[in-house]
Chain A
Amino acid sequence: MNLDHVVVVGASAAGLTAAEALRREGYDGRITMIGAEQRLPYDRPPLSKQVLAGTWEPERTALRREDALVEADWLLGTPAAGLDVAARTVRLADGTAIGYDGLVIATGVTPRRLPFGHDLAGVHVLRSMDDALALRKDLLAASSVVVVGAGFLGAETAAVARQMGLAVTLVDPLPAPMIRQFGAKIGGLVAKLHADNGVTVRTGVGVSGLVGLGDQVVAVDLADGSSLPAEVVLVAIGSEPATGWLADSGLSLGNGVDCDSLCRAAPGVVAAGDVASWTHPELGVRLRVEHRMNATEQGMAAAKTLLGKGEPFAPVPYFWTDQYEVKIQAYGMFPEDSVPTVVVGDPAEGSFAAEYHQHGRVVGVLGWNLPRETRKLRARIGGAA
Chain B
Amino acid sequence: MKVLIDQDKCVGAGQCVLAAPDVFDQRDEDGIVVLLQEYPPAELHEDVRQAARICPALAIELDEA
Contacts and interface: CB of A to CB of B under 8 A. Distances in A.
A297 B13 CA distance: 14
A378 interface: yes
B12 A320 contact: yes
A378 B18 contact: yes
B33 to A, nearest CB: 10
Nearest to B9: A60
Contacts, number: 56
A318 B13 contact: yes
Interface in B1-36: 9, 11-15, 17-18, 25-28, 30-31
B57 A375 contact: no
A375 B27 CA distance: 12
Q: Which bucket holds chain B's interface residue count?
A: 20 to 34
A261 interface: no
Interface residues of A, number: 22
B15 A371 contact: no
A113 interface: no
B30 A371 contact: yes
A372 B57 contact: no
- Nearest first, the 10 A-B pairs at minimum CB distance are A371-B31, A375-B14, A293-B56, A292-B56, A371-B12, A372-B26, A371-B26, A372-B28, A296-B54, A296-B56
19 contacts: A24-B53, A43-B58, A45-B56, A63-B58, A293-B15, A296-B54, A296-B55, A300-B53, A318-B13, A318-B15, A320-B13, A327-B30, A329-B12, A329-B13, A371-B14, A371-B26, A372-B28, A374-B14, A375-B26
B54 A45 contact: no
A293 B14 CA distance: 11
B30 to A, nearest CB: 7
Interface in A347-385: 371-372, 374-375, 378
Contacts of A378: 14, 18
Contacts of A374: 14
A320 B18 contact: no
Nearest to B58: A63
Given A64-B58, A296-B53, A296-B54, 18 more contacts: A43-B57, A43-B58, A45-B11, A45-B57, A60-B9, A293-B13, A293-B56, A297-B54, A318-B56, A320-B13, A329-B14, A371-B12, A371-B30, A372-B14, A372-B28, A374-B14, A375-B14, A378-B18
A378 to B, nearest CB: 7
Nearest to A292: B56
Nearest to B11: A320
Interface in A137-191: none
A344 to B, nearest CB: 13
Nearest to B49: A24
A297 B54 CA distance: 7
A307 to B, nearest CB: 16
A100 B13 CA distance: 36
Nearest to B32: A371
Contacts of A371: 12, 14, 26-27, 30-31
A60 B58 CA distance: 12
Interface string A93-111: 0000000000000000000
Nearest to A322: B11
A292 B13 CA distance: 11
A31 B43 CA distance: 32
Interface in B26-65: 26-28, 30-31, 53-58
Contacts of B28: 372
Contacts of B56: 45, 292-293, 296, 318
A241 B65 CA distance: 41
Contacts of A375: 14, 17-18, 26, 31
Nearest to B17: A375
B13 to A, nearest CB: 6
Contacts of A292: 56
Contacts of B58: 43, 63-64
A315 B13 CA distance: 14
A64 B56 CA distance: 13
Contacts of A60: 9
A174 B17 CA distance: 36
